[in-house]
């Protein structure tokens, strides 16, 4: 049976009236929206840009991913629609582009998304066990440290920055995911003032 978490309060103690969507449905929606659709878009765009320079192609793919994530949250999410969920704004009638950007800021940029996905998924699926979540953050951070050390040895600044950013994300979650926050929401949902709920 799918479980849902009512959750207590958002950031700063703002009460939440809407219960969280069931985890099983959220997993199914994310599988469609965050993996299947991006892979499909990546294949189509990648093949259409085979004859252009690799750097240009990479930039275009990153921009496409950013646009898709904003579209998904601010306009339409096929995954959520298929499983009866929607993203609601807790401060207005609809989710704005700014809110969509805030809730996805750790999932849309290269390098950052490596641990961004891990940490945000941990917030959702290990909702009621803060100690376990922090252990996962520490493990992800330690793995990131290994890459940072390797990048330092390589002596290439760009690769070093790319190795440090995932570590920064882990530290960010470890420090800001604390008692008193709403359980089961993504961390950036708390800052964006959004929540995934079941359709009325």
**Which residues form the domain of 134?**
11-198
Looking at residue 17, its pLDDT comes to 61
Give the model's confidence band at 12: pLDDT under 50 very low, under 70 low, under 90 confident, else very high: very low
Closest among 74, 93, 83, 100 to 21, alpha carbons compared:
83
Looking at residue 52, its pLDDT comes to 86
pLDDT at 151 exceeding the cut of 90 = no
Cβ distance 87 to 30 under 8 Å? no
Cβ distance 192 to 185 under 8 Å? no
Q: In angstroms, what CA-CA distances link 200 with 17, 18, 19, 105, 164?
A: 13, 11, 11, 28, 42
pLDDT at 2 exceeding the cut of 50 = no
Three-state DSSP at 26 gives helix
Quote the percentage of the chain above a pLDDT of 90: 64
Domain assignment present for residue 63? The answer is yes
What value does the mean pLDDT take over residues 48-57? Answer: 87
Domain assignment present for residue 148? The answer is yes
Task: Give the Cα separation of 147 and 82 in Å (integer).
Answer: 38
pLDDT digits (tens, 9 = 90+) for 105-136: 999 998 999 999 999 999 999 988 999 999 99
Domain assignment present for residue 163? The answer is yes
Q: Work out how many domains the chain is built from and give that number.
A: 1
pLDDT at 39 exceeding the cut of 60 = yes
> 0.75 exceeded by the pTM?
yes
Looking at residue 4, its pLDDT comes to 43
DSSP-assigned states of every residue in 167-183: HHHHHHHHHH--TTSPT
Six-digit token pair at 177? 């995911």
Cβ distance 154 to 148 under 8 Å? no
Q: In angstroms, what CA-CA distances link 98 with 32, 67, 112, 133, 186?
A: 23, 12, 19, 27, 16
pLDDT at 11 exceeding the cut of 80 = no
Domain assignment present for residue 23? The answer is yes
Domain assignment present for residue 5? The answer is no
């Amino acid at each position: 049976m799918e479980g849902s978490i009512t959750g207590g309060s958002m950031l700063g103690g703002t009460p939440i009236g809407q219960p969280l969507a069931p985890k099983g449905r959220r997993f199914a929606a994310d599988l469609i929206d965050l993996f299947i659709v991006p892979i499909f878009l990546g294949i189509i765009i990648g093949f259409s840009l085979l004859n252009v320079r690799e750097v240009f192609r990479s930039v275009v793919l990153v921009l496409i991913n950013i646009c898709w994530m904003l579209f998904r949250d601010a306009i339409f999410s096929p995954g959520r629609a298929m499983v009866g969920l929607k993203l609601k704004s807790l401060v207005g009638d609809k989710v704005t582009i700014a809110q969509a950007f805030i809730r996805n800021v750790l999932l849309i940029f290269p390098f950052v998304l490596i641990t961004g996905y891990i940490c945000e998924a941990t917030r959702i699926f290990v909702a009621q066990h803060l100690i376990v979540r922090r252990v996962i953050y520490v493990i992800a951070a330690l793995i990131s440290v290994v890459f940072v050390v390797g990048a330092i040895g390589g002596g290439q600044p760009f690769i070093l920055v790319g190795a440090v950013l995932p570590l920064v994300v882990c530290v960010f979650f470890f420090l800001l995911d604390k008692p008193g926050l709403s359980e089961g929401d993504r961390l950036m949902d708390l800052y964006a003032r959004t929540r995934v709920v079941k359709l009325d």
